[in-house]
Amino acid sequence: MLVEIRDYLAEKASVSINELALHFDVPPDAMRGMLSHWIRKGYVRHTTACSGGCNSCDTSETELYFWHPKQKNKAESAVCLIRG
């Protein structure tokens, strides 16, 4: 399922925790646990879209996740160009 989550996030610009939980038919807390794998590896970033202090926003809609592919380091890029 981690690969499916990766592919889904890579396809979307941003996805709420609610949308992810609904799409994969798992509770939001379980989805957060799976997303933590990709966050630890540096491929997923998350934020809350609400910056106000009113606390009236539904956090399941404002908790957003983004796929953030790592960039190859310069040494890897040079090897690819040489072998290219």
The predicted-structure confidence for 2-16, as pLDDT tens digits, reads as follows: 999 999 999 997 899
**Which residue range forms the structural domain that includes residue 43?**
2-83
Q: Which residues contact 71 (CB under 8 A, 6 or more apart)?
A: none
Residues 67 and 84: their CA atoms lie apart, in Å, by 27
Is the model's pLDDT at 55 over the cut of 70? no
CATH number of domain containing 53: 1.10.10.10
pTM, two decimals, is 0.70
Q: Which residues of 32-55 are buried (b: 16+ CB within 10 A; e: fewer)?
A: bebbeebeeeebbebeeeeeeeee
Domain total in the chain: 1
Q: Are 2 and 26 in contact (CB under 8 A)?
A: no
